[in-house]
Amino acid sequence: MKKCLFSLTTALSQRTFSSPTTTTNTIHRTLTTTAAPSPPSPLPHNKFQLIDLSPTELNYYWDTQAPNESQLAYADKIFEPSRHSPIKQWTVAKFRAMPMSSMTPEVAFLGRSNVGKSSLLNNVMGAEICYTSSKPGRTTTMNAFGIGGTKGGESKVLLLDLPGYGKGSRTEWGDEIMKYLKRRKQLRRTFVLIDGQHGIKRSDEGMLELFRRYAIPHQVIVSKVDKVLAKRRPQIMSGVTKANMLAVQKSLEKMKPLIQPVGRLEGPPALGEILTCSSEVYRSHGDYLGVSPIRWAILAAAGYDGKMEVKVEQPAASGPDGSTAAAAAAAVPAAESKEGSRWEFT
């Protein structure tokens, strides 16, 4: 009996001892035979990643200098979202309802309906704060957003999202917007968005003519540049070729005589640089194409690079409200001035 018990105990001991050894060997074998993931395939030699492109390769500078890396980093830092930025400051439908005592510089964004203006502003501010829609005419009021604010301090600059012109717009919106563009002393620059897929339309040309006539500082931004770079988005994300970049440069060069026409005497033309952007394609996660140069242009307009733009006051020709619009209109015949002050939504 003792011999049987001894034999049973010995067998159990051997089974218990050998089991972990077998398991360990199995785990070790599994770990050593697992294949390592293959590295991503490099881009073809004739393609460039979007993150490696400089501002001069997708934008057009001829009267100004392109921002350098430190300036772009400074702009991105100012626009970095926080508890105090971006923040919605006010929304108005009438010019007279705007706060007049504000000393914060303002820049406005304007364009044809459905040009991608509100989407661009969301990307620039780094937050989904503007209402966007695929249907034209959804922005019906003038909306101001503060950027670069701190606790207990004012914002560094206000960005205004204005209703678009063209399809889905209303004449009364245009009347109030023109009052703002001509009379607002806090306004430093208006960014006019042009659809890169369709180019400058007749309504865009009419708007640029109004800006020149009333000496309103303005600059052109070409949206949807991804449609110019390639037909399909995956083609861009895999890299762009020199031919793609050349196509963008050629499209921008064609716009130059339209935004700075030779021989036209309405007034000062647009700033000598054209920026591009896309709300569909990004250089890296969350960094949409063209956003950083636009941020720098906003700060430059507001004076944060030491070159603040100020409308020239002409007291002798000022109107009852002392605005610069009356000074600009003084050089225009009365009938033409009255007709030109109305924004045609066609």
| Banded pLDDT at 87 (limits 50, 70, 90) | very high
In three-state secondary structure terms, 143 is: strand
Q: Is 38 a domain residue?
A: no
Which tokens belong to 313? Answer: 């006051």
Q: Is 43 a domain residue?
A: no
Residue 193: what pLDDT?
A: 97
From the number of C-beta atoms within 10 Å of its C-beta (0-12, 13-18, 19+), residue 247 rates as middle
Residue 294, strand partner residues: none
Do 98 and 14 sit in the same domain of this protein?
no
φ, ψ (nearest 5 deg) of residue 301: -65, -35
- pLDDT higher for 338 or 224? 224
Do 20 and 53 sit in the same domain of this protein?
no
Do 198 and 226 sit in the same domain of this protein?
yes
The pLDDT tens digits of the residues spanning 15-26 come to: 444 444 444 444
Q: Which of 20, 36, 173 is nearest to 93 (CA)?
A: 173
228: left (phi over 0), alpha (psi -120 to 50) or beta: alpha
Which tokens belong to 6? Answer: 């001894």
* Cβ–Cβ under 8 Å, residues 166 and 340: no
Do 198 and 281 sit in the same domain of this protein?
yes
Q: Is the pLDDT of residue 31 over 60?
A: no
Do 89 and 184 sit in the same domain of this protein?
yes
pLDDT above 90 coverage of the chain, percent: 58
Q: Is the pLDDT of residue 222 over 90?
A: yes
* Cβ–Cβ under 8 Å, residues 30 and 38: no
* CA 278 to centroid of chain Cα atoms: 8
Query: 248: which residues sit within 8 A by CB, 6+ positions away?
Result: 58, 225, 228, 229, 276
| Average pLDDT of the residues in 33-51 | 64
Do 129 and 276 sit in the same domain of this protein?
yes
Q: Is the pLDDT of residue 244 over 80?
A: yes
Query: 272: which residues sit within 8 A by CB, 6+ positions away?
Result: 61, 62, 63, 64, 260
Q: Is the pLDDT of residue 125 over 50?
A: yes
| Average pLDDT of the residues in 334-343 | 40
Do 146 and 197 sit in the same domain of this protein?
yes
Mean residue pLDDT across the chain? 80
Q: Is the pTM of this model over 0.85?
A: no
Q: How many CB atoms lie within 10 A of CB 261?
A: 16
From the number of C-beta atoms within 10 Å of its C-beta (0-12, 13-18, 19+), residue 95 rates as middle
Residue 150: what pLDDT?
A: 85
Do 118 and 19 sit in the same domain of this protein?
no
Residue 137: what pLDDT?
A: 58
* CA 276 to centroid of chain Cα atoms: 9
Do 192 and 308 sit in the same domain of this protein?
yes
Q: Is the pLDDT of residue 80 over 70?
A: yes
Do 101 and 178 sit in the same domain of this protein?
yes
| Banded pLDDT at 306 (limits 50, 70, 90) | very low
Do 3 and 121 sit in the same domain of this protein?
no
Lowest mean pLDDT across 59-63, 99-103, 143-147, 295-299: 99-103
Residue 336: what pLDDT?
A: 39
* Cβ–Cβ under 8 Å, residues 161 and 118: yes
| Banded pLDDT at 312 (limits 50, 70, 90) | very low
* Cβ–Cβ under 8 Å, residues 95 and 179: yes
Lowest mean pLDDT across 53-62, 225-234, 244-253: 225-234
Q: Is 39 a domain residue?
A: no
Q: Is the pLDDT of residue 192 over 70?
A: yes
| Banded pLDDT at 231 (limits 50, 70, 90) | confident
- pLDDT higher for 343 or 310? 343
Do 181 and 211 sit in the same domain of this protein?
yes
Q: Is 41 a domain residue?
A: no
Q: Is the pLDDT of residue 311 over 90?
A: no
Q: Is 346 a domain residue?
A: no
pLDDT above 70 coverage of the chain, percent: 73
| Banded pLDDT at 233 (limits 50, 70, 90) | confident
Identify residue 134 by its one-letter amino acid code.
Answer: S
- Residue position matching structure tokens 């906003």: 298
Domain interval for residue 122: 49-340
Q: Is the pLDDT of residue 93 over 60?
A: yes
Highest mean pLDDT: which range of 23-32, 145-154, 227-236, 291-300: 291-300
| Average pLDDT of the residues in 95-121 | 93
| Average pLDDT of the residues in 314-340 | 41
| Average pLDDT of the residues in 309-330 | 41
Domain count, the chain: 2
Full DSSP string of 72-105: HHHHHHHT--BTTBSEEEEEESSGGGS-SS--S-
Q: Which of 49, 344, 105 is nearest to 201 (CA)?
A: 344
- Read off the DSSP letter of residue 302: H
Q: Is 36 a domain residue?
A: no
| Banded pLDDT at 301 (limits 50, 70, 90) | very high
* CATH value at residue 256: 3.40.50.300
Q: Is the pLDDT of residue 215 over 80?
A: yes
| Banded pLDDT at 173 (limits 50, 70, 90) | confident
In three-state secondary structure terms, 225 is: coil
